[in-house]
Chain A
Amino acid sequence: MTTNARIAVPQGVKPTTNVTKGFDLSQKEGYRLNVASRSESPASGRGTPVNVPSADSGDDLKFSKGKEKLDPVVLYRKERGDVREHLYMVVIGHVDAGKSTLMGHLLYALGQVNQKTMHKYEQESRKLGKQSFMYAWVLDETGEERNRGITMDVGSFQFETKHKTITLLDAPGHKDFIPNMISGAGHADVALLVVDATRGEFETGFDYGGQTREHALLVRSLGIAQLAVAINKLDTVSWSQQRFDEIKVKLRTFLRQAGFRENDVAFVPCSGLTGQNLVQEPTEKELLSWYNGPSLIEVLDNFKCPERPITKPFRFSVNDLFKGTGSSFCVSGRVETGFLSVGERVLVCPSRELAVVKGVAIEESPKQFIFAGDQASVTLSGIEMQNVAVGFILSDPGNPVQISSKFQAKIVVFNVTVPITKGFSVILHHQSLVEPAVVSKLIAQLHKNTGEVIKKHPRFLSNNTSAMVEIQTTRPIALELYCDCKELGRIMLRVSGVTIAAGLIMKIIL
């Protein structure tokens, strides 16, 4: 049975039949809670836990028109009209390119990290014989990361530029932590690619198998179009213009091939360790002799904020779970589309359980509403913590996300050492979800540019081909068609720690 369920099924009717748990939404079509009626409930989540929210459906009907009255556009203007634009930026690049150091130093230069803390980091890192990592400690917070001098999971920090508020997501560069990098990049609007200008080091990251290459391809496949490139550690090559240009030319060609438009990519020379050209005007004579462009902070300020899809149905991708106060727990992640207010109910998918939103917060500060684009934490009650996991999607119960374990995707095959054949097992990345899957059918090989079918049922797919394939996961997952929701319609396929393909969900098979 193959349906384009999103279109075929009326709103509020569950598109699948194999329900294991949860609620039959068709009985309570389109119910929603009145936002105002619950707005007094404490954000701390200490209220009476609501165990089976379906029991009081009569109650729901009274308020059923609640959310309809809230026009998201009006609400957004009212709530956010006078605050600066908020941008999420992922910092990517090969291991040891100096991402954390660059960001740590930038934050210090902006006064986001006080002198006392910095002094403490300096002392403690010296004790470990890792003083060169003192700035990286701003973002590398766990003991493991500090001892090893390597970022393992995404660190985040919020700061202000002239016109914007930016939340930086400092991704790990090490190959083994790419799943974490992907979940960070999935939450970002723009990316800062950091490359090490040291002779030999740039080349290692840029070669096949290097993460300069892989990260750039990944963020582009995740829909990020704007990129700044920090050509870092230029102090190690005495601020050589020739080296800067050499790297710039190589990267520009590659990035164009990867699908970035030339106008959306900016290059900036800097040194995270010395702090040159981060915030203040440069002082290095060699640099001044050939460079009079913007400093890093100005480049970041120039990023354009993408449109936020606030009028679409609510979708939130879960990236983390942790205990809150009392009996409740929190999930954190990103509002992909729509908006959410305190007191509403959400459908947790793919487990299909209803939960009540006890509170929402951005950067630990409680809010009344969260909108598409926000990275936020949501306090849930009425659901067991075990029934939620990283990679789950919270959605509007009246217009829920789709659930399936089989779908068709249009994929672009990157560099594979063994060709993709039918039955190939892969690891599927979908937002923060990481799940084993199988390429169950090779439907057609497509022309890379035109998308025309070149060959039906190919025996295998090799490097740099484009194809329509069927993918099957072991467990059902929450997903959307790319045409309905770009954010939840993208997938990434990896094998043995290498990204082999990226794709778009074209058809969901129920």
Chain B
Amino acid sequence: MKLIYKELDKDGEGTICVIPEEPEDMWHAYNLISEGDSVRGSTIRKVQSESSTGSSTSNRVRTTLTISVENIEYDTQGCMLRLKGRNIVENQYVKMGAYHTLDLELNRKFTLRKHEWDSVSLDRIETACDPAKNADVAAIIMQEGLAHVCLITPSMTLIRAKIDVSIPRKRKNFPQQHDKGLVKFYDNVLQALLRHINFDVVKCVLIASPGFVRDQFFEYLFQTAIKTDNKVLLENKGKFMLVHSSSGFKHSLREVLQDSAVIAKMADTKAAGEVKALEKFYSTLQMEPDKAFYGKKHIERAIESMAIETLMISDSLFRCRNFALRKEYVQIVDAVKEMGGEVKIFSSMHISGERKS
């Protein structure tokens, strides 16, 4: 989420203007806006106009509208918020006090006015505008020619940079082009690292790769740091941790987060716990397929036979505003809890969640 401006008086009343940029931002917006707030944004309005000859034509015009919110709907599929309420600012097309809907979409600015911005809302704005702020773990997952620089927050993995270059292979009698290509690649990764990793926040940087890429890169990184006298890097050398991964593709990050040394280092983060729970599900599915269920119907059947030990459910299911469906999910959760089962709600925005949804 991009913060455009923020004007609050000392009582906490005021307006904040933002642009939602990622799907997750719509979720934040959904949680921020409550009934009674006023929201200004642009919307499409159908306008009937009568020409001098008497024939009427209908036009669609884009107009900026300010409404006092009475109803909020979240459309996860369309990644959109639909607000309903009364118009409270004079408008060319819409009468004062008339009901109108206002759709909030990605990459479209909106302004939110609250009578009181409490600390929870302000915190949310802050997290939304700078998710990296909560990311105390960074990871560079790489293989020859491919690297992802990521920040791991409690609720999601943010890919901050992707480096994808082709490195000439080793060729009989011509090993030089390969070596040259490698150095250039390492330099690209190093630049991305410096740009995206804030060592004031980040407590641990994982460098993961198959083979020796991580060692070679680490060596290059600190040789360069010494050469250029990069104090930040040199002072934070202890934060780096080299780990094995089977590839440089981003989903290999899952393996990295399962490494026992890594888990130890990030023991109290949400990510590590989630990965563990999911892995247990898959191994149950493998060993005793009759004991693992997935899909709503299967789960309902399992509930009937009172056989759920752990229920894992994606939080995306709760965000959908299809009330009937949401209720069913809530019922499932309650039923499982009632029979003494454990419920884990994991974030669908996380790498580990991608596998289940």
Interface residues of A (CB under 8 A from B): 141-145, 148, 152-157, 174, 176-177, 179, 319-323, 332, 389-390, 416-419, 421, 423-425, 427, 434, 436, 459-460, 462, 494, 496-498
Q: Does B341 contact A (CB under 8 A)?
A: no
Is the CB of B168 closer than 8 A to any CB of chain A? yes
Q: How far is the CA of A325 from the CA of B279 in the complex (A)?
A: 52
| B216 contacts A418, C-beta separation under 8 Å | no
For residue A460, which residues in chain B have a CB less than 8 angstroms away from its CB?
285, 289
A323 CA / B216 CA spacing, docked (Å): 24
- A417 in contact with B247 (CB, 8 Å): no
Q: Roughly how many angstroms separate A440 CA and B212 CA in the complex, as a whole number?
A: 33
- Report if B179 contacts A (CB, 8 A): yes
User: Are B246 and A424 interface neighbours, CB within 8 A?
Assistant: no
A323 near B177 with CB under 8 A, answer: yes
A143-B175, A176-B211, A421-B285 known; A496-B170 Cβ under 8 A: no
B283's nearest neighbour on chain A, judged by CB, is A418
CA distance A323 to B171 in the complex (A): 12
Contact with A along B150-183 (1 / 0, CB 8 A): 0000000000000000101111111101110000
Interface-lining segment among B15-23, B249-257, B260-268: B249-257
B283 to chain A, nearest CB (A): 6
Flag whether B41 is at the interface (Cβ < 8 A).
no
If the complex has contacts A142-B179, A497-B247, are A152 and B172 also in contact, measured as CB distance less than 8 A?
no
* B side interface size, CB within 8 A: 36
Q: Given that A143-B179, A144-B216 are known contacts, is A155 also in contact with B210, CB under 8 Å in the complex? A: no
Q: Which residue of B lies closest to A144 (CB)?
A: B212
**Cβ of A427 and Cβ of B282 under 8 Å apart?**
no
Interface residues of B in 310-357 (CB under 8 A from A): 354-357
Residues in B neighbouring A152, C-beta threshold 8 A: 170, 211-212
A320 to B145, CA, bound (A): 12
CA distance A147 to B166 in the complex (A): 24
Interchain CB contact (< 8 A) of B282 among A389, A419, A434, A494: A419
- 18 residue pairs bridging A and B, Cβ less than 8 Å apart: A141-B172, A142-B178, A148-B212, A152-B212, A157-B172, A176-B244, A176-B246, A179-B247, A320-B171, A416-B286, A418-B282, A419-B286, A419-B289, A425-B354, A427-B247, A434-B247, A460-B285, A496-B246
Q: Which residues of A contact B93 (CB under 8 A)?
A: none
Seed contacts A157-B172, A176-B210, A417-B286; 8 additional CB < 8 Å A-B pairs? A143-B175, A152-B170, A323-B177, A418-B283, A424-B355, A425-B355, A427-B249, A462-B286
The complex places the Cα of A424 from the Cα of B286 at a distance, in Å, of 14
Check if B216 sits within 8 Å of A155, measured CB to CB.
no
Q: CA of A460 to CA of B293 in the docked complex: distance in angstroms?
A: 11
A259 to B55 CA separation, bound complex (whole angstroms): 78
A interface, by DSSP: helix, strand, loop or mixed? Answer: mixed
Mark interface residues in B271-314 (1 if CB within 8 Å of A CB, else 0). 00000000100110110010000100010000000000000000
Shortest C-beta distance, A303 to chain B (Å), equals: 22
Contact of A155 among B170, B244, B247 (CB under 8 A): B170
Bound Cα distance A177, B211 (Å): 7
Chain B residue numbers with a CB within 8 Å of A390 are 166
Q: Is A141 a contact partner of B170 (Cβ separation < 8 A)?
A: yes
A144-B212, A176-B211, A462-B289 known; A155 vs B177 contact (CB < 8 Å): no
- Name the A residues within 8 Å of B356 (CB-CB): 423
Q: A144-B212, A174-B211, A497-B246 are in contact. Are A153 and B177 (CB under 8 A)?
A: no
Q: Shortest Cβ distance from B262 into chain A, in angstroms?
A: 15
| A362 CA to B257 CA, complexed, in Å | 45
B168-211 to A contact mask, C-beta < 8 Å, 1/0: 11111111011100000000000000000000000000000011
CB proximity of A43 to chain B, nearest CB, Å: 18
**Complex CA–CA separation, A152 to B279 (angstroms):** 31
Give Cα A465 to B174, complex, Å: 44
Nearest-neighbour CB distance to chain A for B57, whole angstroms, equals 35
B254 smallest CB distance to A (angstroms) = 8
Scoring B168, B170, B249 by chain A CB atoms within 10 A of each residue's CB, the highest score goes to B170
Q: Are A322 and B210 in contact (CB under 8 A)?
A: no
Q: List, in ascending order, chain B residues with CB within 8 A of A177's CB.
A: 210-211
List the B residue with the shortest CB-CB distance to A495: B246
CA distance A148 to B250 in the complex (A): 27
A41–B166 Cα distance when bound, in Å, is 28
Q: Which of chain B's residues have a CB closer than 8 A to the CB of A417?
A: 283, 286
Contact A320 B169, CB 8 Å, known A436-B249, A436-B251? yes
Closest-CB distance, A423 to chain B (whole angstroms): 7
Whether B216 pairs with A497 at a CB distance below 8 angstroms is no
How distant is the Cα of A436 from the Cα of B179 in the complex, in angstroms?
26
Q: Considering the chains assembled together, what is the distance between the CA atoms of A498 and B210 in angstroms?
A: 12
* Residues in B neighbouring A143, C-beta threshold 8 A: 175, 179
Question: How far apart sit A319 and B355, CA to CA, in the bound complex (Å)?
Answer: 31
Closest Cβ of chain B: how far from A482's Cβ, in Å?
26
With a 10 A CB-CB cut-off, give which of B246, B251, B294 has the most chain A CB atoms: B246
Instruction: Give the shortest distance, in Å, between A185 (CB) and chain B (any CB).
Output: 15
B201 to chain A, nearest CB (A): 29
Q: Which of A148, A156, A436 contacts B172 (CB 8 A)?
A: A156
User: Which residue in chain B gives the minimum CB-CB distance to A318?
Assistant: B166
Residues of A within 8 A of B210 (CB): 176-177, 497
**Contact yes or no, B175 A141, CB < 8 A:** yes
A389-B166, A418-B285 in contact; A322/B354 too (CB < 8 A)? no
Tell me, in angstroms, the Cα distance from A462 to B246 when the chains sit together. 21
